[in-house]
Amino acid sequence: MEIERKLYKNSSPEAIVERLLKAGKKVTAPVRSGNTVDFREIKTPAEVEYNVLTTVQSAKKVAFPKVDKVVEFEVLKNNVNTLEIDFDSYPEQILFGARPCDAAGFIPLHAIFNWDYADQFFLKRYEKTTIVSFACTTNDEYCFCTSVGGNPGNTEGSDIQITRTGNSEFLIEIITPKGKTLSALFEDLLVPETEKTEKEKHLAEVPKAFDFEKVYNRLSSTFESPVWEEQAIRCLGCGACAFVCPACACFDFQDEKSLKKGARLKLWDSCGFSGFTIHTSGHNPRESQGDRWRQRVMHKFSYMPHRLQVRGCTGCGRCSRACPVDMNIKEHISQIESL
């Protein structure tokens, strides 16, 4: 479908949000809580925080929650009953105020969760999600979307994109049929473009930090390089980077049971944890933090592109902002490029 362009002449998108909520839709948007802004379900338009470059965490939880029940069971004396999860009961939902790097993050997630076996927990939720993203008019030193095939006005993965083009004007791009369906709720608030708005003029300028192709080719010969230990020496081995990342999909299964009833849960996990690959025998194929850091980078910048033809990183910089010891991935990858 060709992208439809309209204008919204108002100082803030609040009225659009009001329409969505009035229609009874479940809306998740950036909400401020003290010093941090993160995605939360909102009940009123006033809750949405617009004055922030980006949220601490990505929006992946709308389709890949941090705790998800995948099997429910009842353990009886000589039998077990398993109960089906009703995928059709997932509600329609709107992700409002994602950044282009958030919307793009669903693409590698989709590639993993649909690889040969279809994970309906992700796919059905994603199917029911309409993504309304905001193009970026500013950026900070952590952003590097342009180095990984993205840009501040990238519409990949978005159903509707909103770009601020003036104090009281926004460009509304309706990109997909899903977006078109949603836009019916606030169509009357929009006016046609009189002259073509130059979207690029209003976008942030994100300088390219490295060349993805170059890095991809470089990585195949760096497995034994000491660079991994050197870069990872300060890494503490927590899961902050993986959990805030829009493209990280690694998960754990844990069973919980109380008397007879129980469930198998799917939980976020991180390859950075020391126990991620440990065998019951005690043998750990990735024993040092350098080994684990290498896996993170290789998986995102080499293995995923090769096996699934997707990039495992959208350049949002969240990992670097969240990291307690400033493991700045843009910096690290640039260093690897010039090895």
Partner 1 sequence: MSNLIKTAEELLQSKKVNLVIGYEKGTGNKTRPAFIRRAEDAARLVFYAGKSQNLAVYILRQEVKRAGKTAFVATVPALRSMLQLASECQIKDGELIAVFVREDLETIVLEDFKSVEEFLATADTGFNPEEQELLSRLQSMTAPERFSFWTSEFEKCIKCYACRAACPMCYCHKCTTECNQPQWIAPASHPLGVMEWHLMRAMHLTGRCVNCGECATACPVAIPLNILTYSMMESMEAEFGTKPGMKADTKYALSVYKPEDKESFIL
Partner 2 sequence: MSNGNIYMPNLMRIEKITEEAPFVKTFRLKFEDEKVAEEFSFRTGQFGEYSVFGEGESTFCIASSPTRKGYIECTFRQAGKVTSSLSRLDEGDVIGFRGPYGNIFPIEEWKGKNLLFIAGGIALPPMRSVIWNCLDTRQNYKDITILYGAKTVSDLVYKNELEEWKNRADVNLVVTVDPGGQTPDWKGEIGFVPTVLEKIKPSPENTVAIVCGPPIMIKFTFPVLEKAGFKDDMIYTTLENRMKCGLGKCGRCNVGELFVCKDGPVFTKAQLNNLPDEY
Query: Rounded to a whole number, what is the largest CA-CA distance in the chain?
Result: 73
Which one of partner 1, partner 2, none interacts with residue 238, CB within 5 to 8 A by kind? partner 1
CA proximity to 28, closest of 3, 5, 70, 57: 57
Nearest approach in angstroms of CB 98 to partner 2 is 23
Residues 38-57 that bind partner 1 (CB under 8 A): 38, 56-57
Segment interacting with partner 1 (CB under 8 A) among 27-35, 80-88, 115-123, 130-138: 27-35
Q: Which of 52, 67, 75, 325 binds partner 2 (CB under 8 A)?
A: 75
CA proximity to 43, closest of 23, 21, 73: 21
Structure tokens belonging to residue 291: 């080994």
Cα distance between residue 4 and residue 7, in whole Å: 10
82 in contact with partner 2 (CB under 8 A): yes
Residues 231-250 that bind partner 2 (CB under 8 A): 249-250
Nearest approach in angstroms of CB 58 to partner 2 is 17
Compute how many residues bind partner 2; rule: CB under 8 A: 52
Q: Which of 7, 53, 85, 189 binds partner 2 (CB under 8 A)?
A: 85
71 in contact with partner 2 (CB under 8 A): yes
CA proximity to 50, closest of 80, 77, 17: 17
CA-to-CA dists, residue 154 to 32, 43, 99, 146, 202, angstroms: 25, 28, 9, 10, 13
Structure tokens belonging to residue 107: 């693409």
Residue 244 DSSP SS3: helix
Structure tokens belonging to residue 144: 């590097």
Angle at 70 between CA 69 and CA 74, to 5 degrees: 85
- What does the binding site for partner 2 look like in residue numbers (CB under 8 A)? 70-71, 73, 75, 78-80, 82, 84-87, 112-113, 115-120, 223, 249-257, 262, 264, 266, 269, 271, 276-281, 283, 285-286, 291, 295, 298-299, 302-303, 306-307
- What does the binding site for partner 1 look like in residue numbers (CB under 8 A)? 33-36, 38, 56-57, 66-67, 140-142, 229, 233-234, 236-240, 242-244, 252, 254, 256, 265, 267-268, 270, 273, 275, 288-289, 320, 322, 324-326, 328, 331
